[in-house]
Chain A
């Protein structure tokens, strides 16, 4: 069964450094998402992406965050200058259509030191 793949599984970064989290969505999916889960808290929506542009973003997704689909298969989340509070599990998800269930990757654990 096709799946969403995320790399790396764990990323450790110094505060203030840039980090790029990578995702390969399922190949025929058109809608792409990033969510995050801070330890002990809910899974929270960050951003959705369709037709090569951001469709919706949450309050969390400020100017330090950006997303890109550079080559038609990868979908990346970049954090320009990481803060301690960015430490979380980051999940990528994709769906065929907006109204179809989203399928999630196994996440990247981001640890900011």
Chain B
């Protein structure tokens, strides 16, 4: 099942710079996308979401961009902070009755002080 892919397993960024995490999907029926952050020994924590009717959603330091024609979404974190170091998962869902999520494999972000 490769419907949601995160091709970069890891990313290192200097504190204060921009972190860009990428996610590609194959199912054109997906209409809702989310980013989650996960620390070790904790569950995924919701960060930000975007509906397919939008191409951008912003919440503080986090912005998600959606390019439907390319079936690509990205998460921008500006400025990056050491506390942002975690594994980031993108997830997608179809508008079925229960909105089950299909997750990517995750990208481990390390923000260097």
Contacts and interface: CB of A to CB of B under 8 A. Distances in A.
Interface residues of A, number: 27
Interface in B42-65: 42-46, 49
Interface of B, helix, strand, loop or mixed by DSSP: loop
A48 B100 contact: yes
Given A43-B89, A99-B99, A91 B44 contact: yes
Contacts of B45: 104
Contacts of B101: 35, 43, 45, 102
Nearest to B2: A42
B28 interface: no
A86 interface: no
Interface of A, helix, strand, loop or mixed by DSSP: strand
A56 B96 contact: yes
Interface in A10-47: 31, 33, 35, 41-45
A81 B27 CA distance: 35
B43 A104 contact: yes
B97 A104 contact: no
Interface of B: 1, 32, 34, 36, 41-46, 49, 89, 91, 95-106
20 contacts: A6-B43, A31-B99, A35-B101, A42-B103, A42-B106, A43-B91, A45-B101, A48-B100, A50-B98, A55-B97, A56-B97, A56-B98, A95-B99, A98-B98, A102-B101, A103-B46, A104-B43, A104-B46, A105-B43, A107-B43
Given A41-B105, A43-B44, A44-B103, 7 more contacts: A42-B1, A43-B91, A45-B102, A93-B43, A101-B34, A102-B99, A105-B43
